[in-house]
Amino acid sequence: MTDYFDFIKSLMEGEKREEALKGLRVVEITHFIFGPNIGRVLAQYGAEVVKIETPGEGDRYRIAAIFGRFYKRANLLYAILNANKYIIAADARNEKARKIIFELIKKADVFVENLSAGLVDAMGIGYEAIRKVNPRIIYVSCSGYGQYGPLSRLPSFDVAAQGVAGVAMKTGWEDLDEFYKLPDYFGDYLPSMYAVFAVLSALYFRKYWKRTIYRHFTM
C-alpha cells in the first residue's frame, strides 16, 4: 500500500498533468448561482469559459448583499462563482453585439443560459438561432420550470425550487409543522451539478457514440 504522504507528494510534485477539459470552449449568459456555477465547475477543470454580461447591468448577483457594497460591484460569492472566466460586456439585444456573441459561439463547444423562459428567443440567441451559427453546439438552458408548460414563465429561486421539488416538505423535523429550507442554495447548486454531468455526457456522445450509431445505421 502506498504511503499517504508519498501519494500526495506524487500528485503535487510529480509530472504535471494536463487539465481534464483543456481545449473545451464555453460561452455563457448567466446570472445569480444556477447558471454561473455550471461554468465555474467546467472552468475549474480547464475549460475556457467566456461570460457575457449586459453593459451597465451585468450579473445581478454582483451587488446581491444585505450588508454592504463591494469593490468594483462584485460581492465575494459572485467572484467565486465566476472564477477563472473571461468576462466581456455585450448586449445581445443589440445587433452589433449579437454578431460578436455569434463569433464567439462559432468557436465554442457549449452555450449556457439561465434566463427566464422565452427571454433568449426574444433576444435573438435562442437554440434555433445559435444552432444555425454552430450546429455542433451543446446548448444548456436552465430556467426554473423549463421552456414550456404552465409554470414556465414564473421566476424561480432556490427556495421556490426546493418547494416545488418537495425537498422542503421532506426535510427538517417531525415535531415542527412548517417547511424547512436546506441551506446554502441547495436548489441552485444541486441542479447545476446535474447540468455539468449532462454537458460531459453530451460531449462524450458527440465525440464517440454519435459516430458509432451513425455507422451502425448506415452499414
- Please list the active-site residues: 188
Residue keyed to cell 428567443:
121
Tell me the residue type at 136: R
Q: What is the 3-state secondary structure (H, E, C) of 73-111?
A: HCCHHHHHHCCCEEEEECCCCCHHHHHHHHHHHHCCCEE
- CA–CA distance, 78 with 198 (Å, rounded to integer): 24
Residue with cell 425537498: 167
Beta strands 25-29; 110-113: pairing state: parallel
Distance CA 193, CA 207 (A): 21
- Residue 60's contacts (CB-CB under 8 Å, 6 or more residues apart) are 31, 32
